Each structure stands twice: as structure tokens, then as C-alpha cells.
Amino acid sequence: MFEREQEESKIIEEFVPAKKPKSRWRFFTFSFWIFLLVVLVVGVSSALVYKTGFTFSQMQTEKLEKLPLIEDLTTMNTPEPETDADRLNVLVLGLRGEGDPNGGLLTDSIMVVSLKKSTGQVALISIPRDLYITMPGQKYKEKINFAYALGYEQKGEAGGLYLSKIAVSRVTGLFIDHVVSVNHEAFKDVVDALGGITIILDKPFIEDQQWTNGGDLGSSSAFFIKTETASTSQGAVEKQKWVFKIPAGTSTLDGLTTLYYVRARYSSSDFDRTRRQQSILLAMKEKALSLGVLSNPVTIFQVLESLGKNVRTDLSFSEIKDLIGIASKVDTKTAIHKVFDTTPEGLLYSGKSDIGAYILSPVGDDFSKIQSTCKNIFQ
């Protein structure tokens, strides 16, 4: 269970970096692609009917109409968005995971995948985790990434998904049909199931500012301790720091090393991170095809095993099958991308909360412009 004061402290420590990234490409997260992998694997694994069914019994949470332990949601005086028969809106959440002590239930990535059924168009709408909103059913404000933790406190994973849907729905003005959460373990396990990912670098990749003590997710062979020795009048002084390094040339990365590689940003930039994410996604696709993963029962079993443990959704098995039919018509190469940020067209401005945390607020201090953008994204 969470105490709000403890969460505020965690939020300050976790989400106020020395340099706040303002990249327009933060929408490009692995949550969306892991979500598509879920759909793909389920769609092709009919030979593993029992395992597929069991996996979805693990992934599926109960569907909640409301959370009785939280105040009436009408306290926000905000009308609920109406459904659109021609659109399917799926909220995809990326989080570290329940067992992570460093804000594991705070959603690091929040994206709405909106599908227009009549045309096969898809839009990816990114909501920044630092957006400051009134918590659903409450009278106080928090960053939107806290909604999952708040719901989890009341009703476990189902509550986390539900309150995240409510929060994002009221910001975007879109009716959120379904929600999927994905943690780091899912991505790591999929890479390992593929036997690792091979990359080719023209020059070494080095991240020497983001992690200490071998990384925040566990040990990787890519870490080493760099010792700098300086001579002084009192003698030699040594200074140590942890460095993550992938050498130039060809390297095969395991799941954990790949996860560090695509998360690194302090020594580079969000633009560079995006390029690395894109290259890894292509490498995953090529590796899957070269292994014949879609016809390999062992690999599919391993992927399903991880998905069952690390992905949660309110989608039923029949709804997943319907989604497969819709997703099969979507061309992701022509996807519409929208990220709300602090650029002139980003509709947000930055500031500080009462406790000094970095926050983002909507221009005009209401969400009307953001909602209009989301509703008219396909026009």
C-alpha cells in the first residue's frame, strides 16, 4: 500500500532530472511494440491453444465499472467522453513493475493507440508522465503517472488500469476502450527468447552518467568500473564511476543489456535514444523472421510465458481476436504521431508543484485544446 507522502518523495527524486528532456519523439516507446507483439503471437499460436488460453487468463484483469473505495468520480465535474463507433482507442502503459522499489508503479510511458476502423489509419498519442492533473475521484493534484499507483492501492492491477483509463480519457477527451500495461521484464524476456539481438556499431556507445553500481535493473556484462587516478600533494586520489559500454563492431546483446541500451539517454539525447530504439526494433523483427519464431513452438511458449507474467489488460480473449482483425489492416509506416510538450505547438508549459516537483500543465490551464487535437487527429 502507498502513503501519499512517500509517493510524493519518490516522484520528486525519480522525475526531476538535472536536464529535463523535451524530445518530440518520446512517443516512440516499446510499450506499443510489445503490445503489437501480444496481438501477433496470439494470432499465430493456434497450435498452442491451451497455453494461449492460460496466458490470457493471467493477463486479463477484472473489468471495473467504478472503484467503490475512491470518491465518486463526478467530483471533477467533467462529463465522460462518448464512444466513437469508428474508432478504437487502446491505452498502453509502460512501467517498471510492482517489485521495483524506485517508483515501480508509476507509469513511465503513457500512450493512446487510436485506430480508425473505416480507413485503417492509426494514431499514436503520447501523454507526458509529468502532466499535472486532479486525480480521478480525488480533490488533490498529482502527476498523471501516479493514477496507476493510486488505483492499484485500491483494487490491485485492475484498479491501476481503470484509474489510468479515467485520467487519460479526461485529458484527451477520448473514450478509452481498452488498456494494456507492460513492464520491463516483458521486453527483456522477449529479447532473450529470440536468443539475443545482434547490433553493429560504427563507434562505441558509452553511457557514463545514468547508472551506478552496475545499473538499476541488475548486472550486465556491458558495465565496467572506470577508475581515474589523480596525483596530489597528499598522494594518489582515485575516483570511480560505473560506465555502460557497447564496443564498436558487431555485438550480440542479451535482454537486460538491450534494455539498458534502449533506455540510456543522459550521455546522449532522446533523439539518439529514438534511433537506437528503431534499430533494435528492426533487429528484433529480423531475428524473429530468421528464427522462424512464428512457427517455433518453443519460442512462442517462452514469449507467452513472459507475457502472462508481465502484461496486464482488460481485453478479453474474444476482444483480442477482434483487435487482430482490425490491426491486420493497419499500416504503421503511415501512422500519425502526436506528442504533447512545451514547444509552441505542444500545448503544454512547465512549472513547479507546491512541493517543488517538475510538472507540466495545459496552455490556458484547461484541456480543451488537447482534447480538440485528439478528437480531430485523423482530419
Predicted local confidence at residue 80, as pLDDT: 76
| Dihedral angle over CA of 162, 183, 312, 74, nearest 10 | 0
Task: Give yes or no for a contact between 349 and 93, defined as CB atoms under 8 angstroms apart.
Answer: no
Query: Kindly report the CA angle at 354 between 350 and 355, in degrees rounded to 5?
Result: 100
Task: Give yes or no for a contact between 257 and 268, defined as CB atoms under 8 angstroms apart.
Answer: no
Predicted local confidence at residue 178, as pLDDT: 93
Among candidates 250, 185, 248, 251, which has minimal Cα distance to 221?
A: 251
Residue boundaries of the structural domains of the chain = 4-190+294-375, 195-291
Task: Give yes or no for a contact between 179 and 170, defined as CB atoms under 8 angstroms apart.
Answer: no
How far apart, in whole angstroms, are the C-alpha atoms of residue 114 and residue 94?
A: 17
Q: Spell out the residues 6+ positions from residue 244 whose beta carbon is closer than 8 angstroms to its own.
A: 206, 207, 208, 210, 211, 215, 220, 222, 223, 260, 261, 264
Q: Spell out the residues 6+ positions from residue 54 whose beta carbon is closer than 8 angstroms to its own.
A: 308
Amino acid at 268: S
If you average pLDDT over every residue of the chain, what do you get? 78
Cβ-based burial of 243 (10 A; exposed 0-12, middle 13-18, buried ≥19):
middle
| Dihedral angle over CA of 214, 216, 220, 225, nearest 10 | -20
Predicted local confidence at residue 206, as pLDDT: 95
pLDDT tens by residue, 74-131: 444 556 788 999 999 999 888 877 766 667 899 878 889 899 989 888 888 888 889 9
Predicted local confidence at residue 39, as pLDDT: 58
How far apart, in whole angstroms, are the C-alpha atoms of residue 132 and residue 194?
A: 39
What is the CATH topology of the domain spanning 195-291?
Answer: Aminopeptidase (3.40.630)
C-alpha cell at 132: 499535472
C-alpha cell at 321: 481476436
Tell me the backbone φ, ψ of residue 320, rounded to 5 degrees: -65, -40
How far apart, in whole angstroms, are the C-alpha atoms of residue 227 and residue 325?
A: 55
Task: Give yes or no for a contact between 182 and 31, defined as CB atoms under 8 angstroms apart.
Answer: yes
Predicted local confidence at residue 185, as pLDDT: 83
Predicted local confidence at residue 128, as pLDDT: 85
> Starting at the edge strand that comes first in sequence, how are the strands of the sheet with 336-339 ordered?
311-313, 178-183, 87-95, 107-116, 121-126, 336-339
pLDDT one digit per residue (tens) for the chain, 379 residues: 444 434 433 333 333 333 333 333 333 344 555 555 555 555 555 545 556 667 777 888 877 766 654 554 444 455 678 899 999 999 988 887 776 666 789 987 888 989 998 988 888 888 888 999 999 888 899 999 999 999 999 889 999 999 999 999 999 999 999 999 988 788 788 888 888 989 999 999 999 999 888 888 888 999 998 887 776 667 777 777 899 999 999 999 999 999 899 888 788 865 476 567 657 766 776 777 676 665 677 777 777 787 788 889 998 878 877 876 777 677 766 878 888 888 888 899 999 999 999 999 999 999 999 999 999 999 8
Q: How many of the other CB atoms lie within 10 Å of CB of 362?
A: 19
Predicted local confidence at residue 344, as pLDDT: 85
C-alpha cell at 154: 485500491
- CATH architecture observed for domain 4-190+294-375: 2-Layer Sandwich (3.30)
Query: pTM value?
Result: 0.73
Predicted local confidence at residue 13, as pLDDT: 35
Residue 195: left if φ>0, alpha if ψ -120 to 50, beta else—which one? left
